A and B are shown apart, each in its own frame.
Chain A
Amino acid sequence: MSAIFDTVLRKIRIAFVLAALVMAVFGFASYRTIDRLADLAINAVNTQDKLVTLEQLNVSLGHAQVSLRDYVLSGAPVDLEQFQARAWEQKNAVETLGTPPVLPEQDELERRVSERTQLQYEAAAARSRGDQAAAIRVMESIRSVEAEAELTTLLQSIRAREEQAWWNSHAVPTAKGAQQVVVAAGALLVAMFLWASWMVRRYERERRRVTSLLDDSEAMTRLLSANMAEGLVTMSTDLVILDMNPAALKVLGYEREEVIGRPVAELLDPSSDREQLRAQLLSQLERPEAFQVSGLDMLAIRKDGSPLPVQVSLNDLRVGGRRRVTVLIRDMSRIRAATEAMKASEQHLREITDTLPVIIAEFDTQHRFRFLNRAAAEFLGRPAPEAIGRPAVELLGEALFAEHKPHLDKVLCGSSVRYEITAADATGAVGTYDMYLIPRRDPSSGELVGFYAFATDITLLKRIDRMKTEFISTVSHELRTPLTSVRGSLGLMSAGVAGKLPDAAANLVGIAQNNCDRLIRLINDILDSEKIESGDAPLRLQVVELTPVVQKALTDIDGFAHEHRVRLRMVAPSTPLSVKVDVDRLLQVLTNLISNAVKFSPSHADVEVRVSSTPRSVRVEVADRGPGIPPEFQRRIFQKFSQADSSDTRAKGGTGLGLNISRTLVEKMGGQIGFTSTPGDGATFFFELPRQGMPAATARTEVPRAPGVALGRKRAILHVEGDGDIRAIVANLAGDCANCVSAGSLADARARLRDTEFDLVLLEPELPDGSGWELLPELQEREAPLPVIVFSADHAEPPAGCEVAALLVKAQTTEEGLVREIRRTLNGDYVSMPMPLEQ
């Protein structure tokens, strides 16, 4: 606000200086003009006087000459007197002109006039003597004539000069110029007056506006200080209280009138604070510049004498040119109480985290410790304050940190991580820890700022778990051994190996045998279930085609279905559907679902196995026409040992674990299992698995090989083909599953067949040296006939009586198709692996 005034005042000041300068210039100019005018006037008068005197002189000179001439002519004494008078006048006129001497030629003029006068007196003297002729001679002498002429010339030149001067004094229009200057100066003065008065009015208006603003601001300040939550004390430089806002009065317990005019020191604890504040203030006030001191912790004394912890901030300011000190008082009693409470709560939390038998630590995004509990400090072997701020790699060591690192990267991407790690603590004791990392986000911004780490020592749990596994394994073995004897004895007895049994005994032995079988299945399932859940039997996942696996399951169970007089039907699309599964385990699931369906189907009913797909998943359904699943049982159906009716156990021979195992397996293979059922109208069990992108990674598609063969040599293929490029492609394709030997001609092929044992021949009938068909009878006559796949350029029919494994046309066969056919043919002669007594 003062800035506005400054600007206005500065403008006015500049204006006055300018005006003074302009007036001085105009005053000087006017003075000069008037001065010149006066000079001119005097000059004019002088010139005029000179001209008049000159004229008089001229006339006197003329009169003197005329009167001389008259005397010379007459010789009368009257004329002589006349002449003497005129001569005296003439001399007088010259002298008049010379007092004061105004003409530069005065001396010369006087000399010439005196010379002329002398000549005239000479002529007059001659006449007086009566010698007229002599007088005339004097008058007409060369001397007289020359003197006369010179005087005339001199007078004329003076006259001409003075006339010119007179004219000059009148020719300059100085008066006009002076008039203009005066008019301009007057106009300027008027303008300046107008401008000055406008500025003054403007200044006044501005002043009023700013004053009102100041008034408002002061009112606002007062209002603010009145409503401020913090106490505000205003005091003079000699530390006497001038004002106190309501908050300050309230917190100190005074009335306003009681404190105004009192020294501020009286409000403070006498022991130390008084002197401290006084010293602080006085030292500051000694210096002229403004100061600010904040955050002084002091003890104020209330009116009732009770102490009050306060925080004080000091500020100085100028009010109306006087220096004042404001003291901002903050009541710290509540804040201090809150701080105490917080400390207590923190202590409480710390006690809890320190008591927990879990390692708890917090890290920032740079893996630096931000917090750790006692268990963590004990693990690291250093007190918590020493670890805070230091990077994990420094405290854990490179090797252990490297083990954690991938998980740290993951948690810092925002997802929780759980893993197990084996590590040695500070004392060297090695333990297994269950690690749980949880990302930590800023509560307001949601930004990831670090993570929490929880580590539980599960060494003991692991040991117990291992004991449990060993126990189950041992128990199952120990149970199997006597069961082997029991089952064996019963089997032999019921088969009549030890002699024919009476019917009643045979019946009883049969019952014993059935229940023995059930017991064995139960043990198998318990062991299986335990192994799958504990992860001790990891799945061997591979990408395979689904339909052949389903087909195999149906084949395996066909005998069982036949026993139950149930027909199995399969509906599957012809397109290959790839899934990533453990083939053995998928077969186990399929066998379980299909055998359940068979068990619950009425005689002569169909069990339908349907394979379908979406772009993302494949689905296998097993539908029966049995009694369906009772609604009250549907929720428990996948639980362990859950069977709709305990009598079913006996009737159907199940263990109550099959569906539970199936569900676990499907889920471990990334899929889900479920069912739909209408009681009385059958049930449909289904599972879905994620579909794999590749149409068929046939390299590992085959169903498990027969035992023994797996360890045998790699199979060999003979490829008979005239075209070198195709030979190279096929050798490359087939290289995965067999040794591929190429032959470019019929003769070449025969030579190879003599030298090497092959498992398969891939044959192009069109060969450079004859027809490939000629080879077929030779191959079939061998001791071990070789299967042949015809791989020809066009659709070729083999000659009558020759059998081939497959007929493929090059242009119509994909690379995958060829490899699949080779594999199928190579595997075609193996019987499937018989399952041990496990179902």
Chain B
Amino acid sequence: MNTMDELNRILYVEDEADIRVIAEIALEVVGGFTITSCASGREAVESAERARPDLLLLDMMMPGMDGLSTLEALRALPATASTPVIFMTAKVQAAEVAHYRSHGALDVIAKPFDPMALAEQIRSIWARRKQAAAA
């Protein structure tokens, strides 16, 4: 864990442009975070060093590199080797959620999400993590 600081910069990967727009607004305008959004895993790997994110927010189902392979690629980079990660997915069955968590995700956010509540949801996951780390 390279940081226990406030959550500020988020590296966001989502192949669907419309959703990307909405999430950007939800997180930047509503949530006040700094977002680096990428359309694919490859783009995320390219942007990671520059973005120096506090948190990775990865869509699961993507053409080419999916969420898990993107995470794997990002973990290979020093900047994101241990950055906490939250997955976003439309597949929200219990077994799938458990599977994602087993890959080290803080949590899984289901799609469709409420744009007005998204930032708050991420903040509460972040707070819980801090609590857990402190305990």
Interface residues of A (CB under 8 A from B): 473, 476-477, 480-489, 491-492, 495, 497-498, 516, 520, 524, 527, 531, 537, 584, 706-712, 759, 784, 829-831, 834, 836-838
Contact = CB atoms under 8 A, between A and B. Distances in A.
A492 B116 contact: yes
Contact of B114 (A477, A491, A524, A706): A491
Given A485-B16, A708-B106, A708-B107, A492 B115 contact: yes
B95 A707 contact: no
Contacts of A829: 131, 135
B3 interface: no
Question: What 5 A-B pairs come out closest when comparing CB atoms?
Answer: A488-B22, A836-B110, A485-B18, A480-B90, A484-B112
Contacts of B111: 480-481, 484
Interface string B90-124: 11111100000100111111111111100001001
Contacts of A524: 92
Contacts of A481: 16, 19, 90, 111
B23 interface: yes
Nearest to B109: A836
Given A488-B115, A712-B132, A838-B110, A477 B16 contact: no
A831 B126 CA distance: 13
> Which of A476, A480, A488, A838 gathers most chain B CB within 10 Å?
A488
B113 A837 contact: yes
Nearest to A712: B132
Contacts of A498: 25
B42 interface: no
Given A484-B113, A487-B112, A708 B132 contact: yes
A537 B22 contact: no
Contacts of B91: 473, 477
Contacts of B21: 485
A837 B108 CA distance: 12
Contact of A497 (B23, B29, B106): B29
B124 A784 contact: no
Contact of A488 (B26, B94, B125): B26
A784 B134 contact: yes
27 contacts: A476-B90, A482-B18, A483-B112, A484-B18, A484-B19, A484-B90, A484-B111, A484-B113, A485-B16, A487-B112, A487-B113, A487-B115, A488-B113, A489-B18, A492-B22, A492-B25, A492-B116, A495-B30, A497-B25, A498-B25, A537-B95, A708-B128, A708-B129, A709-B128, A710-B101, A784-B135, A837-B113
B65 interface: no
Nearest to A528: B93
B94 A584 contact: yes
B19 A485 contact: yes
Given A483-B112, A487-B112, A784-B134, A707 B128 contact: yes
Contacts of A520: 112
Given A495-B30, A837-B113, A711 B104 contact: yes
A481 B25 CA distance: 17
Given A537-B93, A707-B101, A488 B131 contact: no
B45 interface: no
Contacts of B113: 484, 487-488, 837
Nearest to B104: A711
B61 interface: yes
A491 B18 CA distance: 14
B32 to A, nearest CB: 12
A481 B18 CA distance: 9
Contacts of B121: 834
Contact of A477 (B26, B61, B107): B61
Contacts of A477: 61, 90-91
Contacts of B128: 706-709, 830-831
A495 B116 contact: yes
Contacts of A837: 110, 112-114
B101 A537 contact: no
Nearest to B129: A708
A271 to B, nearest CB: 83
